[in-house]
Amino acid sequence: MARIREFDIDQAVDRAMDLFWRRGYAETSLQDLLRELSIGSGSFYAAFGSKEQLYIRSLDRYIHLQGDDLERTLDGGTGIRLAVRKVLTSLIEADLADPTRGCLVVDTATHCGGQPSAAERANTGIRQVESLLAGALEQAQTRGEISSDKDPRKLARFLTTVIQGIRVIGQARTGREFAEDALSTAMRALD
């Protein structure tokens, strides 16, 4: 008779995501995961298959949550300039509050390049940001908030690069002035 699973899978993925986010993929051992999730190795393998599969699942969860947050901010009815400023400012503040946290997508892109499935997921996360920004910029252009001579897709790619760069400089602890100068320059791209 098969044993009944005694833990919540979604909650376990959230806890694993947090652990990977804090420590990184390479620095998180199977034993760390078992301890964090309070499960045995048999339950772990039955539920997740492998450390890499759990990492991918955790990364997917992170991308989903971050996408939801970005979409809510962009759809907040505040206008594109205020929404973009809010997105960039919130990232700067998060990195100043905890520079070790950073961004799981950036960490994956820079440390897991040898894992094709992880690199593919990082690309998916970056493309999601680009897509959400492009959609918001297209709508803003229709409303006359940005000039018709701007290319929303190219502008979205630029802002996506700025977002990822802010996450990197936050981890490098370059400080508020450095990040806010980048934010100011990025905001001028919307003029």
- Rounded to 10°, the helix 51-74/9-23 angle is 90
Quote the CA–CA distance of 58 and 152 in Å, as a whole number.
31
The string of pLDDT tens digits covering residues 5-14 is: 567 899 999 9
The answer to whether 181 and 174 are in contact (CB under 8 A) is no
The predicted model scores a pTM of 0.89
The string of pLDDT tens digits covering residues 75-125 is: 988 899 999 999 999 999 999 998 888 899 999 998 876 788 888 999 999
Q: In the chain, which ranges are continuous DSSP H helix?
A: 9-23, 30-37, 41-48, 51-74, 80-97, 104-111, 116-142, 152-171, 176-188
Q: Which domains does the chain have, with CATH numbers?
A: 59-188 (1.10.357.10)
Single out the residue of 142, 148, 132 nearest to residue 84, CA to CA.
132
Q: Is the pLDDT of residue 45 over 90?
A: yes
